[in-house]
A and B are shown apart, each in its own frame.
Chain A
Amino acid sequence: MYVYDQHDQKIIDERVAQFRDQTTRFLAGEITDGEFLPLRLQNGLYLQRLAPMLRIAVPYGLMNSSQLRKLADISRTYDKGYVHISTRQNVQLNWPLLEEVPDILAELSTVQMHAIQTSGNCIRNTTTDQFAGVASDELEDPRPYCEIIRQWSTLHPEFAFLPRKFKIAVCGSTQDRAAIHYHDIGIELVADDDGEIGLKILVGGGLGRTPAIGSVICEWLDKKHLLTYLEAVLRVYNQHGRRDNKYKARIKILVRAMGIDAFREAVEQQWTALKDGPSTLTEEEIIRARSFFRDPSYLALDSTLAMFDLEQDCTRDPIFANWITRNTQDHRLPGYRIVTLSLKATGFAPGDITAEQLELLAELSDLYSFGEIRSTHQQNMVLGDVQVSALYALWQRLQVAGLATPNIGYLTDIICCPGGDYCSLANAKSLPIAEAIQTRFDDLDYVYDLGPLELNISGCMNACGHHHVGQIGILGVDKKGQEFYQICLGGNQAKDASIGKILGPSFKQKDVPEVIDRILSTYVTLREEDESFLDTYRRVGIHPFKERAYAQAY
């Protein structure tokens, strides 16, 4: 992974000192609430319902074991001994004290971490595929480009007061696991007719109040132009994005208003002045960025032998066998597998992880996965490089720690924002809904029979729980002071992206599990052979689901 040199460290340290000074001045009454707001947001600090929330950046979801230990340590010293993995692969502390945030940032800087631009109307943490570098369907590792974008966007002087937040995601594989269609800018590594890999750029995707799928602004861009092109897009947006209404301020609204062709023209015009300028990437810089993501010291493994042993363990222990099927995936190299650790055990808030679990994960990553851990936008954790022969020992440790729930990609692997229990923006609670659904569908055989299924819950229109792109999406809404839940069906974040369609009037909290049950049984009745939920929905449309869901009063 990327390692800071003295320059990177200096920038982070100066940022800590700056924020310490800002906090001191705020506490002394020298900065107003209104002035402090963007300053603290650009350091990931929200003042929440019960306590502040600090969002720590995890650039493109990659961490090492010392960073995990530090997070565990911080969560014990400054918080309540647990953290939350967000849907942007970041880490959130729910109970820090404002006065102590500068100390937390100073602690983070000792392990090359920070909270820069994890919130606010600026360029946010760049996200990518959680299986980057190990996926078997990868064209090129996207992380070097994520790191180049991270550096360019960090404390960018021109784009710190944009009309609204700005999110970038990069994907380098056949299957899109980074949801690039739902980002302000989505970047895909693609080959041209001669096989040369360049960048396909999408613009104007996003969730929130007006969900939109990104439009292609550039089919193929030479990698060296990455930063000048991004700069041109951002400059057009900064000058022309709407600032009169925060709900119409995202770039998607500007792209829609101008039309993609006029928007492209405006960008190209800006770009002519910037193209081939000093921000053009040098070959050496691309090589340098790549050098941090070279293969670790993999062993040349005899996969036949390893698979034989694995099959024996599986035969002996069907619970282990099931976990292998549900929570591990093919690695691009023989003899290795990718392991996803579920943070979706029933009874725990989706995405929450305790200090003890973080430390265990640090230890296990050192033992079994070259000391690296990834966070996912589905709010789970990944060990990317586990030898097949070590899987049984790893699983035993995870079982004891409650990190082996075999539900990755299934109904109970729910994406869920912290909702009304924590967040001051929320219209409704989301965590109790997640728990009620997990409790209702505790029969794993039924859950597996439903096949892969994404159920996403957001507590408000800001859509942190990505409800629009869940095959089943649940949105908390406020109706005259009461919490209700709107359900949408058919969302999808993959390359054939689609936005979920609203089923009908919203439901009371207590009725949500029953409604989900009816939707699922409708699917089971209507599906043809191995047809997935999404395919069935796309074939039959929303009406059969609607009819069944509203069949009688609750």
Chain B
Amino acid sequence: MRRLIKHGNIIDDTWQPLDPDCSVPEHGQICSLEQWQDLADKEGSAVQLEPGQEPTPLFDALEKIDLLVINFPVFTDGRGFSYARDAREHGYQGELRASGHFIRDQLTYLQRCGFDAFQMADDSDLNAALTSLRDFTEHYQAAIDQPLPLFRRRS
């Protein structure tokens, strides 16, 4: 079972990974966007977005989604940062998971954009990665983790 960081703890993944060839994913399995769009019952569903797939098609059913995975095939493609923020700003409350080839030095930024779970391609040292989540304790700009910019909080 794959491990990941969620809410600052290392846990086992309880979701079944995405299978792009499967026509009807089971309950508890992560769907591609196409599979998810074909689901008759979206309650408790899990969906994975790739770069180039904006979260807009999910907006009408965000409250039914339990897990939104945003995949990073390469860590330098930053589209997923905006997708995450967009989904949270449209009211998504479920687990928002980054998966793929992002690196631990991006964790604070990912967390700020609304991710609360991190499934790293290299999960050999998740404890070390946890320390990177605490790189910054103060921020200038508003984001999901701190909706007020510093200028509204300065004292």
What 1/0 mask marks residues of chain B from 66 to 107 whose CB sits below 8 Å from any chain A CB? Answer: 000000000111110111011001100000000000010110
Q: Is the CB–CB distance between A160 and B141 below 8 Å?
A: no
Q: Do A239 and B149 contact each other (CB < 8 Å), given the known contacts A11-B136, A35-B103, A157-B109?
A: no
Q: Is the CB–CB distance between A152 and B149 below 8 Å?
A: yes
Determine if B50 is an interface residue (Cβ-Cβ < 8 Å).
no
Q: Is the CB–CB distance between A5 and B154 below 8 Å?
A: yes
Determine if B137 is an interface residue (Cβ-Cβ < 8 Å).
yes
State in angstroms the CA–CA spacing of A279 and B154 once bound together: 14
Q: Is the CB–CB distance between A239 and B82 below 8 Å?
A: yes
- Residue count of chain A within 8 Å CB distance of chain B: 39
**Residues of A9-26 whose CB lies within 8 A of B:** 10-11, 14-15, 17-18, 22
Q: Is the CB–CB distance between B154 and A162 below 8 Å?
A: no
Interface of B is mostly: loop
Determine if B57 is an interface residue (Cβ-Cβ < 8 Å).
no
Interchain nearest-CB distance for B16 vs A (Å): 29
Name the A residues within 8 Å of B143 (CB-CB): 157-158
Q: Is the CB–CB distance between B154 and A155 below 8 Å?
A: no
State in angstroms the CA–CA spacing of A238 and B81 once bound together: 9
Q: Is the CB–CB distance between A282 and B151 below 8 Å?
A: yes
Q: Is the CB–CB distance between A14 and B138 below 8 Å?
A: yes
Q: Is the CB–CB distance between A161 and B76 below 8 Å?
A: yes
**Residues of A127-152 whose CB lies within 8 A of B:** 151-152
Interchain nearest-CB distance for A283 vs B (Å): 11
Q: Is the CB–CB distance between A39 and B105 below 8 Å?
A: yes
Interchain nearest-CB distance for A288 vs B (Å): 7
CB-nearest residue of chain A to B145: A157
Q: Do A11 and B82 contact each other (CB < 8 Å), given the known contacts A35-B75, A39-B105?
A: no
Q: Is the CB–CB distance between A38 and B150 below 8 Å?
A: no
What 1/0 mask marks residues of chain A from 78 to 109 whose CB sits below 8 Å from any chain B CB? Answer: 00000000000000000000000000000000
Residue among A11, A31, A39 having the largest count of chain B Cβ atoms under 10 Å: A11
State in angstroms the CA–CA spacing of A281 and B139 once bound together: 16
Interchain nearest-CB distance for A544 vs B (Å): 48
State in angstroms the CA–CA spacing of A235 and B55 once bound together: 13
Q: Do A155 and B140 contact each other (CB < 8 Å), given the known contacts A39-B105, A239-B54, A285-B151?
A: yes
Q: Is the CB–CB distance between B140 and A152 below 8 Å?
A: yes
Q: Is the CB–CB distance between A11 and B139 below 8 Å?
A: yes
Interchain nearest-CB distance for B31 vs A (Å): 22
Q: Is the CB–CB distance between B149 and A279 below 8 Å?
A: yes
Q: Is the CB–CB distance between A161 and B136 below 8 Å?
A: no
Q: Do A235 and B82 contact each other (CB < 8 Å), given the known contacts A151-B140, A279-B149?
A: yes
Name the A residues within 8 Å of B110 (CB-CB): 157
State in angstroms the CA–CA spacing of A10 and B85 once bound together: 25
Name the A residues within 8 Å of B109 (CB-CB): 155, 157-158, 160
State in angstroms the CA–CA spacing of A128 and B77 once bound together: 30
Residue among B51, B78, B149 having the largest count of chain A Cβ atoms under 10 Å: B78
Determine if B148 is an interface residue (Cβ-Cβ < 8 Å).
yes
Q: Is the CB–CB distance between A243 and B77 below 8 Å?
A: yes
CB-nearest residue of chain A to B110: A157
Determine if A379 is an interface residue (Cβ-Cβ < 8 Å).
no
Name the A residues within 8 Å of B141 (CB-CB): 151-154, 156-157, 227, 279
Determine if A380 is an interface residue (Cβ-Cβ < 8 Å).
no
Interchain nearest-CB distance for B145 vs A (Å): 9
Residue among A11, A153, A161 having the largest count of chain B Cβ atoms under 10 Å: A161
Name the A residues within 8 Å of B79 (CB-CB): 238-239, 243
Residue in contact with A157 in the complex, picked from B112, B138, B154, CB distance below 8 Å: B112
Q: Do A14 and B76 contact each other (CB < 8 Å), given the known contacts A152-B149, A238-B82?
A: no
Determine if B35 is an interface residue (Cβ-Cβ < 8 Å).
no
Name the B residues within 8 Å of A296 (CB-CB): none
Q: Is the CB–CB distance between A18 and B135 below 8 Å?
A: yes
Q: Is the CB–CB distance between B108 and A282 below 8 Å?
A: no
Q: Is the CB–CB distance between A162 and B78 below 8 Å?
A: yes
Name the B residues within 8 Å of A121 (CB-CB): 76, 78
Q: Do A151 and B150 contact each other (CB < 8 Å), given the known contacts A11-B136, A11-B140, A18-B135?
A: yes
**Residues of A273-295 whose CB lies within 8 A of B:** 273, 277-279, 281-282, 285, 288
Name the A residues within 8 Å of B137 (CB-CB): 10, 14
CB-nearest residue of chain A to B105: A39
Name the A residues within 8 Å of B24 (CB-CB): none
**Residues of A232-269 whose CB lies within 8 A of B:** 235, 238-239, 243
Q: Is the CB–CB distance between A160 and B149 below 8 Å?
A: no
Name the A residues within 8 Å of B51 (CB-CB): 243
Residue in contact with A278 in the complex, picked from B54, B76, B147, CB distance below 8 Å: B147
Q: Is the CB–CB distance between A278 and B149 below 8 Å?
A: yes
Name the B residues within 8 Å of A277 (CB-CB): 142
Q: Is the CB–CB distance between B78 and A161 below 8 Å?
A: yes
CB-nearest residue of chain B to A286: B151
Q: Is the CB–CB distance between B150 and A157 below 8 Å?
A: no
State in angstroms the CA–CA spacing of A158 and B89 once bound together: 13
Name the B residues within 8 Å of A158 (CB-CB): 78, 81-82, 85, 109, 112-113, 143
State in angstroms the CA–CA spacing of A11 and B103 once bound together: 21
State in angstroms the CA–CA spacing of A385 and B138 once bound together: 36
CB-nearest residue of chain B to A42: B105
Q: List 20 A-B contacts (CB under 8 A).
A: A11-B138, A17-B135, A31-B105, A35-B105, A154-B141, A155-B109, A157-B81, A158-B82, A158-B113, A160-B81, A238-B78, A238-B79, A239-B54, A239-B79, A273-B89, A273-B90, A278-B147, A278-B148, A279-B142, A281-B151
B→A interface (CB under 8 Å): 51, 54, 75-79, 81-83, 85-86, 89-90, 103, 105-106, 108-110, 112-113, 135-143, 147-152, 154
Q: State the 4 A-B residue pairs at the shortest beta-carbon distance, nearest first.
A: A161-B78, A157-B112, A157-B109, A285-B151
> Beyond the given A154-B140, A159-B78, could you list 7 further A-B residue pairs with CB under 8 A, ordered by the A residue number?
A18-B105, A153-B141, A157-B109, A157-B139, A235-B86, A277-B142, A282-B152
